[in-house]
A and B are shown apart, each in its own frame.
Chain A
Amino acid sequence: MTPMSTFLLASLLGADAAPLQRGVATEQASIHIEGFLQRLMPQAFIPQGTWWAAGLSMLAACLAVFAFINVFALFAVWLERKVSAHMQCRLGPMEVGWHGVLQTIADGLKLTAKEDIVPRDVDRILYVLGPLVVFAGVFVRFVPLPFGEHLIASDLNIGLFFIAAVGSVEVLGVIMAGWSSNNKWTLFGTIRAATQMVSYEVPIGLAFIAVAVCAGTLSLVSIVEAQKFSVASWFCFRDPFLFVLCLIYAIASLAECKRAPFDLPEAESELVSGFHTEYSGIRFALFFLAEYAAMYLVSAVAVVAFFGGWYTGIPAIDGIGAEGSGGIAMALGLFIKASVLIGKSIGIVFVQMWVRWTLPRVRLDQMMHLCLKVLLPIALVCLVGSAFWRLAFGRTFLFILPPSWFGA
């Protein structure tokens, strides 16, 4: 395991610390993506060890993740509109398709067909790069994220650390977009975004450390495997400190992906639409896509780190497609586990929407107060408490349950 101090430092520094791990990351990536692809394709198609095979497998993984992000964004935008509508006594989109399910496709097509305006006085290079960097910053974080058992682009041994560290690239893109737009609103949005996203990485990093302490690993697949015994073995329920850290992660992740009540960077009532005020057409669509991809990402990470990943806690369901079973059972098991993981993530995305349409936006000073004076000290206490709990009681939270439920 990476030493805690390095981890904390790296979380604070974000992108600067990422190159330190680059050698490890790329080596792991190539190995695992090839392995992933060989599960999907007959060996004849992909000869091992050639440079183009590695490239091809990376491309395939990228396309799969990109397609997933797009489909999820289409679904999530529709879901958000319906959720907000029903919470406000409206109906939401009703015309295109059944209860408007195809509305987002129509909107997306319209968005891509719109004029791509580049204002005269913008810093052209940064302006063009901004949305790309934002989207890439989110997209890269999907690399160590499992979508189900075996369905992972690359099972990095520093998975959690990678997700926390690369998150800072997104801030960079937001700053590029906001600064280059040459506009006061975007500048304010940028400053707020930078403040907010850098601050809230700290509680998130602390929550991750506690999970790593409990699981003994940073690899997301291994973290999920550590929670396969029962619902009681999910890290969220392992000990009271981890439960609090789970809540802290939920709050901080809202701020991390700039969702209400922490949507200060794009506060409509104050800053038009914040750092992406000047963007239109496909470039705006990229920001939009990145936002919804980030929503899924933080939810899926929460599921993996705290809510048992692709395990339901019901042995009959988790047992389908275990090692040594037939091909159909294995395919069914893969499908069920992917559905469970994605379903749980969508559940957490729903909670994010629920929070968004309930709470008003916080003020900047309230936002900083919440992060630095509430979440950070409590997260530190909980981290220490969680570590001592594990030393004192092993892995058991609910003492009355049999130890086998915790894999002890």
Chain B
Amino acid sequence: MALGKYFSEIFAVGKSVGIGMGITMKYFLESLLLRKHTSTIQYPRERDVIPARHRGIHFLETEKCVMCWKCSDICPVDCIYIEGVRGADGVLQDGYRGSKATLSKFTVDYTVCIFCGLCEEPCPTQCIHLGPEYDYHATDRTMMEKNLLTDRVYTQEDEKFVRWAREENERLKAEKAKAHAAGKAAGDAKAAGDVKPAATAKTAPAAKTAPAAKTDSAAKAEGEAH
């Protein structure tokens, strides 16, 4: 009896070891040969998909800016510094002359900025956004003050992404409102016995396909930006 228990224990240990080693070998082979499971990204060369609502380094559409200072005013840490002339004519050195403002400086101090995204809210022309750029480094404190007019952080590819992200945000917002309205309507209709819950779930996968374009373009843009 004791001998039976002895051998059954050995058998149980051997079996569990076998199961465990089978699992690790399965993962090893699938990872090695099929490139499955691996979630590692070779960071500087390939980059992760940034969500549409990611809050990174500011992206300024300079031609739209009317120099109203609202972003600078609402900033909880006062990290946005704007200089220029509103409604003036003529071109400034290292500056930008828009249709309504001539900016000479639009600086964000990233040692101070908390990336709260409040500056986006009051902007009357919706020209300042928190963009997808997240790797930002400096060897000097002053280098963290970035002039959005002259220091090119974003490439054209990034601008495309920002535009896409904005549209995406709008779309998601609209969808949410629609779903909310639909839910309300369904709630009303429930009394009549007509339920349609599938309408909201269907739209979710479609939103996920768009960011795939970002990885290639971002990898390419990386070389140009730095």
Contact = CB atoms under 8 A, between A and B. Distances in A.
Given A91-B38, A91-B40, A94-B42, A86 B21 contact: no
Contacts of A322: none
B10 interface: yes
Interface residues of A, number: 14
Contact of B21 (A90, A358, A374): A358
Interface string A356-374: 0111000000000000001
Contacts of A94: 42
A374 B8 CA distance: 12
B24 interface: yes
Interface stretch (B27-35, B142-150, B154-162): B27-35
A90 to B, nearest CB: 5
Given A354-B21, A354-B25, A359-B17, A89 B31 contact: yes
Given A86-B32, A89-B37, A358 B27 contact: no
B21 A87 contact: no
Interface in B122-139: none
Interface string B5-27: 00000100000010011011101
A357 B38 contact: no
A319 to B, nearest CB: 34
Contacts of B32: 86
A354 B23 CA distance: 11
B28 A87 contact: yes
A307 B94 CA distance: 77
Contact of A89 (B17, B38, B42): B38
A355 interface: yes
B31 A354 contact: no
A87 B42 contact: no
B39 interface: yes
Contact of B20 (A83, A91, A358): A358
Contact of A87 (B24, B39, B40): B24
Nearest to B37: A89
Contacts of B37: 89
Contacts of B23: 358
A357 B24 contact: yes
B20 A359 contact: yes
Contacts of B24: 87, 354, 357-358
Given A91-B38, A94-B42, A86 B31 contact: yes
Residue from B10, B20, B21, B28 whose CB has the most chain A CB atoms within 10 Å: B28
B28 A374 contact: no
A359 B19 CA distance: 11
Contacts of B39: 89-90
A374 B12 CA distance: 13
Contacts of A358: 17, 20-21, 23-24
A88 B23 CA distance: 11
A86 B28 contact: yes
A359 B27 CA distance: 15
Interface string A81-124: 00100111111001000000000000000000000000000000
Nearest to A378: B10
Nearest to B40: A91
Contacts of B21: 354-355, 358
Contacts of A354: 21, 24-25, 28
Contacts of A91: 38, 40, 42
A357 B28 CA distance: 11
Interface in A20-46: none
B100 to A, nearest CB: 50
Given A89-B39, A358-B17, 19 more contacts: A83-B28, A86-B27, A86-B28, A86-B31, A86-B32, A87-B24, A87-B28, A87-B31, A89-B37, A89-B38, A90-B38, A90-B39, A90-B40, A94-B42, A354-B21, A354-B28, A358-B20, A358-B23, A359-B17
Interface of A: 83, 86-91, 94, 354-355, 357-359, 374
Those 9 A-B pairs whose CB atoms lie nearest each other, nearest first: A86-B31, A89-B37, A91-B40, A358-B24, A87-B24, A358-B20, A87-B28, A86-B28, A358-B21
14 contacts: A86-B28, A86-B32, A86-B38, A87-B24, A89-B38, A89-B39, A89-B40, A90-B39, A354-B24, A354-B28, A357-B24, A358-B17, A359-B20, A374-B10
